[in-house]
Amino acid sequence: MLGRCISAEWMKLRYSHIWAILVALPVISVLIGCANFYMNQGVLTKEWYSLWSQVGLFYGEFFLPILIAICCAYIWRLEHLNKNWNMILAAPVPSAGIFLAKWIVVGVLLILVQAFFVLLYFIGGKTLGLNAGLPQELPGWLLRGWTAGLTISSVQLARSMRIRSFAVPVGMGLCAIFIGLGMYVARLGLFFPHSLLTVGMGVLSQTGLSCGENPVFWLMNILYIGVINTGAIWRMRKHDRVA
C-alpha cells in the first residue's frame, strides 16, 4: 500500500517543475561559495576543507532547510487545493501511508539534491585547481546532512499539513534556521532539528563529531522523526480536515 502511495506522489510531482528549484539552489550556493573561496585563497588554505566551509555554509545553513520547506509545502499544497483533502482521505489507504509516502518522496528528492551538490562541489574544486584527494569525512557529512534533512522534512511536512498557506510554513522554517543557529552557538546544536543539520554536515566546523556526540546525533534524529511523524499521522487520523 505504501508503494502505491509513493507512486501516486511521484505522479503528482511529474509536471510540477519543482526540479528547477532543486537544481538552481545548489548551483547558486556552489557558485557563490567557489567565488568567495577564489577571492580569499590567501586565508582559506585547507583546500577541499576550506572550499566545503564556503559552499557548505550557504547550502547547509540557508538553502537546504528552505529548499526542504518549499518541497514539503508544495507536496501538501496539492491536497489543500481543489478539495483534494476529501478525496485523499476517502481513498482506501491508511493515513500513515499518505504521510509516510510524502516523507519518503521528500527523502528521495533530498538524496538527488545532495548528490547533485557534491558533484558541483567536486567540479568547483577541480576548476579552482584543487589537486588533493577529497576529504575522508565527505560521505559522513553527506549522510548526516541527509539524515538531518529528513528530520527537518518531518517538521516541515507536519507544519505544511496543518497550515493551508504555502508561504507561512516556509517563513517559519526560516525563523527556525536562526533559532538553530542560536542553539548551535549556545552549544546545544544536537537538540534542535535545524542545528542538527549544521552539526551533521560540518557546515561551521569540519572537525567532525566526537565518539560521545555521534550517538546523540543519531538518537536525536530518530527521536525527532519518530515523535513528529507519529504525531502528524495521529493528527491526520483524529482531526477533521477543512477541504
* C-alpha distances in Å from residue 141, one per residue of 45, 133, 176: 20, 16, 21
| Alpha carbons 175 and 95: distance in angstroms, whole number | 29
Choose among 166, 163, 172: nearest CA to 193.
Answer: 172
Least distance from C-beta 64 to another protein, angstroms? 11
195 residue type, one letter = S
Query: How crowded is the C-beta side of 230, counted as CA atoms within 13 Å?
Result: 6
Least distance from C-beta 29 to another protein, angstroms? 8
| Alpha carbons 4 and 17: distance in angstroms, whole number | 22
Q: Is 43 exposed, middle or buried (0-12, 13-18, 19+ CB in 10 A)?
A: exposed
Per the structure block, which three cell numbers stand in for 78? 496539492
Per the structure block, which three cell numbers stand in for 220? 536525536
Alpha helices in 14-90 (DSSP H): 18-39, 47-58, 64-80, 84-90
Closer Cβ to another protein, 76 or 217, answer by number: 76
Per the structure block, which three cell numbers stand in for 124? 568547483
Least distance from C-beta 131 to another protein, angstroms? 26
Least distance from C-beta 156 to another protein, angstroms? 13
Least distance from C-beta 166 to another protein, angstroms? 4
Least distance from C-beta 178 to another protein, angstroms? 5
Closer Cβ to another protein, 96 or 181, answer by number: 181
Binding site for another protein (CB under 8 A): 16-18, 20-21, 24-25, 28, 32, 36, 39, 58, 62-63, 66, 70-71, 73-74, 77, 80-82, 164-168, 170-172, 174-175, 178-179, 182
* Type and span of the H or E element at 121: helix 95-127
Largest CA distance in the chain: 62
